[in-house]
Structure 1
Amino acid sequence: MSHTRPVVALAMSQEAADAVVKPAVRRRLEESVLLRPRLLTEFTSAAARETLAEAELLLTGWGCPPLDATALAHAPRLRAVAHTAGSVRGHVTEACWARGIEVSSAAAANAVPVAEYTLAMILLANKRVLEAARDYRRRRDRAGLVSSDGTLGNHRRTVGILSASLVGRRVMELLAPHELRVLLYDPYVTAAGAAELGAVKAELTEVFAASDVVSVHTPLLPATRGLVGRPQLAALRDGATLINTARGAVVDQEALTAELLSGRLRAVLDVTEPEVLPAGHPLWECENVLLTPHLAGSQGNELDRLVELAVAEVRRWAAGEGFACPVPPGRRELLA
């Protein structure tokens, strides 16, 4: 049957659909596409394959099954995927790229809360707010907690950023109004490019040796696994802070644990390796580390930002305008 609006199906977990595809979102989609009612949480049943056979675009989310060659064989009309989250590596396979399927991601929208979280943690770390709050609660006395110590505070401190990723770039934008020196390690960015981002290009060891806070925004690739190891951590000055909101395996967890337990360094870890750490892991009781449950990314009403971008992408594509936030095949691995 001919139609003027493309057929769109949802492919994600039920939990993700409940979080991002609310009635108002469905209504907006239905203004420009034919939205199929069935939620695809798998691609193997006869009912799922019936929906796949019609779909021209899949609106995907967390929990979407892999779009491998077997799934694509049952989706002959599929031409595009719009993802309501960041990385597409979990479900967009080589078979998709080989077939020329267009892909969009909401990674730019998800970078916003991660960068906001990072900025807050950088400023809190340099003020040692978490430690002061802990000691104040314990002592019930301000004596010795309000300090003129020159190693405390945000005035002209040095912040190291690992990778000019979407998040890393946004963090540098947010740091711009503050009187901070920013060093950037990214082998793919020139000195001029770093300057345009408000940073000074530096080698990895230099970033660690010179920074009061180092924030990791590097995607996990074979080349970046264990990028932050014992030599880099040893180069950090006493009392420095490592922040990781990227992937736990970018950092040598064993080496970092040893430094934190020694009391020499501090850390803010929104991700670890493994994630979650075992129940008996010493970092659970270590006062030098703030562990958070991978919450820097979009949470609560921040999910609305992701789906707003994805819906706008679907509407653009349906109008023949193409995606505003495409994922080119050569860049797909760089989405953390």
Structure 2
Amino acid sequence: MTADIWLPFAADQIEGLPEGLAYRFWDGGADFPADPADCAFYTVPYLKGMEVALRPLPAMKSVRVVQTLSAGVDHVTPGLGALPAGVRLCNAKGVHDASTAELALALILASLRGFPGFAEGQRREEWRSGFYPALADKSVLIVGYGSIGAAIEDRLAPFECARVTRVARSARTTERGEVHAFTELPALLPQADVVVISTPLTEETKGLAGADFLGRMKDGALFVNVGRGGVADTDALLAELESGRIKAALDVTEPEPLPAGHPLWHAPGVLISPHVGGSTSAFLPRAKRLLADQLTRFAAGEEPRNVVLTSG
């Protein structure tokens, strides 16, 4: 049998791919490009949803690597049970850092400085002058301090924040300073003016930002989610927004896409972008470089980078 490599881009569009591999193009269309049983390296089509991501997995009896082009892998993990033991599931660490961090900063600034109101004022031909909150002198809490969280801190650096506090699943020390554990959140949340969620969706983080989490945020604080919608409890968030106690800027929601008529669309103090943190002009060159590197390692019999889980 041939060892097929499934890619969501044509192989001739990716510089640096190793020779001697059988490249098959599949971007989630109805027809598979070849027999899934012959696939050794499966690149999950980007932004095509869980149904597409999982569709070929049960037939992939020879697959050795499953590569996502997203930082999160929650749309793929439900299908791991159908795979042979020892399959490496890899994420796209590094591909989305710049774009997602850029959007996080944009959401923070737009919400604090009142951009949604300015846009509405422009539509109504109203001059809405006044004083608005600045990011300068604010305390920012980053929940989910991986490569994206670190990239967000990089972009906060010029804005003269009073303090940036880092939180991850477990405590550690980095060259930037201390990273606190999730268990310390109850004490940290009341100190933050801006709380940024950049953690992936896992069993541990699902519903992490629930009623207790949100209730501990200080009055007037801003909740920003560029991670996954399921990390926040939507009902609890709606309750806080409708009370007017906090504000929110969300690139991700639960459910997603957010359906017409959902109360989150018109909740007071909320700014919503349609999950565009990673889908920018920066995506393609970084994704292609990742695939070229991973497949060069694969062809050489080396361990792939960014292994998140191993099946079996």
State the TM-score, normalizing by the size of structure 2: 0.80
- If each structure's helix is expressed as a fraction of its own residues, which one has the higher value? 1
Asked if the contact 1:9–1:40 (Cα under 8 Å) also holds between the matched residues in 2, the reply is: no
Match of 1:34 among 2, 18, 21: 21
Match of 2:180 among 176, 179, 201: 201
Q: Distance in 2 between matches of 1:295 and 1:273?
A: 15
Alignment: residue pair count:
301
**2:103 counterpart of 1:117:** yes
Match of 2:170 among 179, 188, 208: 188
Q: State the structure with more CA Rg.
A: 1
**2:249 counterpart of 1:268:** yes
Q: State the match for 2:64 in structure 1.
A: 79
Unaligned 5+ segments in structure 1 are 12-16, 331-336
Match of 1:60 among 14, 39, 44: 44
Asked if the contact 2:89–2:308 (Cα under 8 Å) also holds between the matched residues in 1, the reply is: yes
Match of 1:175 among 151, 156, 179: 156
What's the C-alpha RMSD, in Å, of the aligned pairs? 3.3
Asked if the contact 2:40–2:64 (Cα under 8 Å) also holds between the matched residues in 1, the reply is: yes
Flag the 1:90–1:273 CA change in 2: closer, same or farther, 3 A. closer
For residues 204-254 of structure 1, give each alpha carbon's deviation from its aligned partner in whole angstroms, at most 9, with x where no partner exists: 123321111111122222332221122332232332211111122221211
Q: State the match for 2:13 in structure 1.
A: 24
Q: Percent of counterpart pairs with the same letter?
A: 31
For residues 165-213 of structure 1, give each alpha carbon's deviation from its aligned partner in whole angstroms, at most 9, with x where no partner exists: 33222212322333211122334023x34xx335663721233211111
Asked if the contact 1:164–1:189 (Cα under 8 Å) also holds between the matched residues in 2, the reply is: no
Q: State the match for 2:49 in structure 1.
A: none
Q: State the match for 2:5 in structure 1.
A: 9
Correspondences of 1:1-336 after superposition (within 5 Å): 7-10=3-6, 17=8, 20-21=9-10, 23-25=12-14, 28-29=16-17, 31-37=18-24, 39=26, 41=28, 48-49=34-35, 52-53=37-38, 55-62=39-46, 63-65=52-54, 68=57, 70-73=58-61, 75=62, 78-91=63-76, 93-94=80-81, 96=83, 99-135=85-121, 138=124, 140-141=126-127, 145-147=129-131, 152-180=133-161, 181-190=163-172, 192-193=173-174, 196-198=175-177, 201=180, 203-300=184-281, 302-329=283-310
Asked if the contact 1:8–1:59 (Cα under 8 Å) also holds between the matched residues in 2, the reply is: no
State the TM-score, normalizing by the size of structure 1: 0.75
Unaligned 5+ segments in structure 2 are 47-51
Q: Report how far residue 39 of structure 1 moved.
A: 3.5
Q: Distance in 2 between matches of 1:36 and 1:90?
A: 24
Asked if the contact 1:86–1:110 (Cα under 8 Å) also holds between the matched residues in 2, the reply is: yes
Partner-residue secondary structure (3-state), 1:107: coil
Partner-residue secondary structure (3-state), 1:177: helix
For residues 5-30 of structure 1, give each alpha carbon's deviation from its aligned partner in whole angstroms, at most 9, with x where no partner exists: x843216xxxxx3xx447422x753x
Flag the 1:308–1:122 CA change in 2: closer, same or farther, 3 A. same
